[in-house]
Amino acid sequence: MATSNIPSEIIEIILSKLSSVKSLLRFKAVSKSWNTIISDPLFIQNHLQSSNSSPNNLFLSRNTNSTDRGFPLIKFEGPKTKPGEMFVENIPNGYSVILFECNGVLLLTSLSDRDRRNNRKYALWNPSTRWERHLETRYKDHVVDRGICYDKITGDFKVVFIYTTEYAIYSCKYNYWRKKKLGKKCYGAGDTGSGICIDGDTTYWILEESAKMQLVYFDSRIDEIKVLQKPEQLSEDDKYVSSYNMACLRGSLCLYCYNKDEKSVQMWIKEKGIHTWEKVITIGNIENLYLWSTQLCFVEVENKATNYSPTEKAVEKLVGIDIYRGRYVPYRNSLYFPTGVKTKTIKA
């Protein structure tokens, strides 16, 4: 049957179920109507949602680990998971570190941990499409943290740089910078890269203010960083909590904390549009750990990734996966990429 006899709505549904971005890009050349469907922002959104609903458990290492083969790609499959020989190649020249991920778009840099906070050159890159875009900040301030978010209303990717007392927003669609006051003095909580993007349009960070951990988020609708209240119980027991971390769990913001007094890990979840936190689980009898988490629940034991099984109430080591200074980000099959200025290098 000729495709012209198939309703466009049916074609769109079929195409949105295809996980292969490479195939979709080829299909744009089939006809003008297919190109229009695949290029439509709503189709791109639905395609990502379809991919997220069938997770492939693929994760990218944040570092190339000084290899020329690209970012290591790892598939988590329970306690027998091992690092494979897969690599995501064709990285923008000179970039070797992933700082952030949003809707499949990565924020890259190239410098070592020691110099990264003062770097001014970055790249946005979608490993599924291999599209890249370069930008250079106009500010020389010391960077506390960075992130990306997607404004669904305007269709604009925004890159956020947090400094000690200010923050800067770069609009990819309109190619402009805006700088605002934080209203407080903040520092990074550990290594830069604490942020996480939930549902594409809201980015959260953990910062340190007056020797206490503070949760903040970027509201893309009004381009402002706001304070997010921690669970009330954690605020009361703050002196016993030695470390925090965040993750995306079932599409919601998840907060992990280690209580050094009780030697336990507590996990809290906050659904979108809900102002209160719900305590999900407490994992007891755990010695002092630096928490590491992704969409799966992980903690770090002697620099090795481990998985906590709620049913077995046991911590299982994931064989051979070394996560020292190299947390992972999800690998998403995504068509997203910033629109607007087409130049290769952007300098404000």
CB neighbours of residue 221 within 10 Å: 12
In the chain, the domains with their CATH numbers are 3-50 (no CATH), 55-347 (2.120.10.30)
- 151 pLDDT band, cuts 50/70/90, is very high
Position 192 scores a pLDDT of 47
Share of the chain above pLDDT 90, in %: 31
Task: Note every long-range contact of 289-292, with CB atoms under 8 Å and residues 24 or more positions apart, other chains counting.
Answer: 289/243, 289/258, 289/265, 290/243, 291/243, 291/244, 291/245, 291/256, 291/257, 291/258, 291/265, 292/245, 292/323, 292/327
Residue 165 has pLDDT above 70, yes or no: yes
Q: 113 in helix, strand or coil?
A: helix
The chain-wide mean pLDDT, for the chain, equals 78
- DSSP letter, residue 92: P
Residue 117 has pLDDT above 70, yes or no: no
Residues 307-348 have pLDDT tens digits of 555 555 555 555 444 444 447 788 889 999 997 654 443 333
Instruction: Report the share of the chain in percent with pLDDT over 70.
Output: 74
Structure-token pair, residue 291: 């928490």
Q: What is each CA distance from 273 to 43, 281, 297, in whole angstroms? A: 24, 21, 23
Residue 117 in tokens: 């906070």
- pLDDT for res 294: 36
What the block records as the tokens of 258 is 């280690």
- Name the range with the highest mean pLDDT among 4-8, 24-28, 254-258, 330-334: 24-28
Given this model, what pLDDT does residue 166 score? 94
Residue 162 pLDDT exceeds 90: yes
Q: Which residues lie across from 270 on neighbouring strands?
A: 253
At 23 the pLDDT is 93
Letter string b/e over residues 253-270, b meaning 16 or more CB atoms within 10 A of that residue's CB: bbbbbbbeeeeebbbbbb
- When pLDDT is averaged across residues 261-278 and rounded to a whole number, the result is 84
pLDDT at 105: 95
Query: Residue 22 and residue 27: Cα distance in Å, rounded?
Result: 9
User: pLDDT band at 125, cuts 50/70/90?
Assistant: very high
Handedness of CA 299, 125, 168, 250 (dihedral sign): negative
Question: Per-residue pLDDT tens for 211-234?
Answer: 788 899 999 989 999 999 988 877
Which of 39-53, 72-86, 151-165, 327-341 comes out lowest in average pLDDT?
72-86
Q: What is the pLDDT of residue 124?
A: 95
Sheet holding 86-88, edge to edge: 86-88, 71-75, 58-61, 328-330
Choose among 77, 138, 114, 56: nearest CA to 330: 56
Kind plus residue range of the DSSP H or E element containing 32: helix 32-39
Residues in the chain: 348
With bands split at pLDDT 50, 70 and 90, how would you rate the model's confidence at 75? Answer: confident
Enumerate residues 6+ apart whose C-beta is below 8 A from 222. none
Structure tokens at 173: 């669609």
Burial class (CB in 10 A: 0-12, 13-18, 19+), 298: buried
The residue-averaged pLDDT of 124-132 equals: 93
Could you count the other beta carbons within 10 Å of the beta carbon of residue 60?
21
pLDDT value for 204 = 93
